[in-house]
Chain A
């Protein structure tokens, strides 16, 4: 296909228009997306570091992300940013406003920013973003940051895509943090206490450190302290991320995660394919009412597999 070849060529040249187009194609899935994705250079994808940044609203993620970008840019790193916002459940539309906080990099051609709507896809968000990561990697981005609000399942799914996930917290957010603590340690490779100059920050950081100590785990989860508005602590944070990445690559954790994430993406895709089939098969089942949805589901799958 001529267009795909043209786009692949554009990605190689870091052409912003080609990158933008390619991402749209991947995001909309379909045949072109498959051709495109299968034509990409795998080694570029392998080398890329995918960094997930998550945390409750108000923790200062966008500002911190912007600081990390500045820091990496000083080291000459070309990078990608994927910012995810929710879609309206009613209209399916979305307002993607993350750029507002990142506009200071707007004219830097080596910061490829892409806003994405969650599009209400169950789990499918992960697969769409996975495609975007691959395209960005082929567009020369050696670090890709995925920024998302760390509440809700679809956002947590995003975390599976990341090689390393940093969870950003801040003092004074109260209930949000409490709610997050439960799922916190499973997903975070690194905790960031932002707004570290505010009252309560040190307490929060110590609280987190105590929680980590109580956990039986083979590796340490560092707690970094930052003041994103002033850039304080950002270089330590970036260094900590780098060293975790090194460890993960040496221990095989990196490869394991990539493999698992790929498998999950495949399953997500498969479910997306099957979903309409399930609906139509279910219609054939109509009339024979069962009280138990579990049993109905099993019958449904059996019928589908027989087809």
Chain B
């Protein structure tokens, strides 16, 4: 490695709920890795509480959630709720999946900072993760 050791961001990618379609989640995990992130991947069929607990232990700077089953309505906000129990609601949460327009507003209100739907360019998603990590660190380590 070169001498310039820039900050390595750690993020978590996981699928809350029972949906097993992990093509999107795996793609994002891999794309994040190839963009220099360290990605804690928790796999499919996790509860929101498990994801939050893992995020805290792993001290990640952002969480990416994916659901294609329609479970996002309850499960994404449940992750934010679970983070609150660990006093870790400052960890930014980003969501993606098959999500209709009218849910986007509700999810953002529940504390999900960004929602990405099929067809979103990868660049945009990576930028959102970078931004989330940067603003998290800005707040956490003044």
Contact = CB atoms under 8 A, between A and B. Distances in A.
Contacts of A117: 8, 38
A20 interface: yes
Contacts of A28: 7-8
**Which bracket fits the contact residues of A?**
35 or more
B59 A24 contact: yes
A95 B57 contact: no
Interface stretch (B29-37, B69-77, B100-108, B111-119): B29-37
Contacts of A3: 141
A93 B43 contact: no
A107 B1 contact: no
A103 B16 CA distance: 13
A117 B10 CA distance: 10
A96 interface: yes
Interface stretch (A84-92, A142-150, A161-169, A294-302): A84-92
B125 interface: no
B53 A99 contact: no
Given A23-B59, A103-B50, A17 B87 contact: yes
Given A100-B41, A114-B57, A279 B3 contact: yes
Interface string A102-116: 010011010011110
A178 B37 CA distance: 35
Contacts of B8: 28, 92-93, 117, 119
A121 B58 CA distance: 20
A115 B37 contact: no
Most buried by A among B46, B57, B88: B57
Nearest to B39: A95
Contacts of A93: 8, 32-39
B19 interface: no
User: What's the dominant secondary structure at chain A's contact region?
Assistant: mixed
A276 interface: yes
B38 A20 contact: no
B86 A95 contact: no
A97 B41 CA distance: 5
Contact of A90 (B34, B43, B53): B34
A96 B57 contact: no
Nearest to B13: A95
A307 B64 CA distance: 49
Contacts of B1: 92, 119-121
A95 B40 CA distance: 6
B39 A24 contact: no
B130 to A, nearest CB: 12
Nearest to A80: B57
B40 to A, nearest CB: 5
Nearest to B56: A16
A98 to B, nearest CB: 9
B46 A19 contact: no
B33 A94 contact: yes
B34 A88 contact: yes
A99 B3 CA distance: 31
22 contacts: A3-B141, A17-B56, A19-B57, A20-B58, A23-B59, A28-B7, A93-B35, A93-B39, A94-B33, A95-B39, A96-B40, A97-B41, A99-B54, A103-B42, A106-B54, A107-B49, A107-B50, A112-B57, A114-B57, A115-B40, A119-B1, A276-B3
Interface of A: 3, 16-17, 19-21, 23-24, 28, 87-88, 90-97, 99-100, 103, 106-107, 109, 112-115, 117, 119-121, 275-276, 279
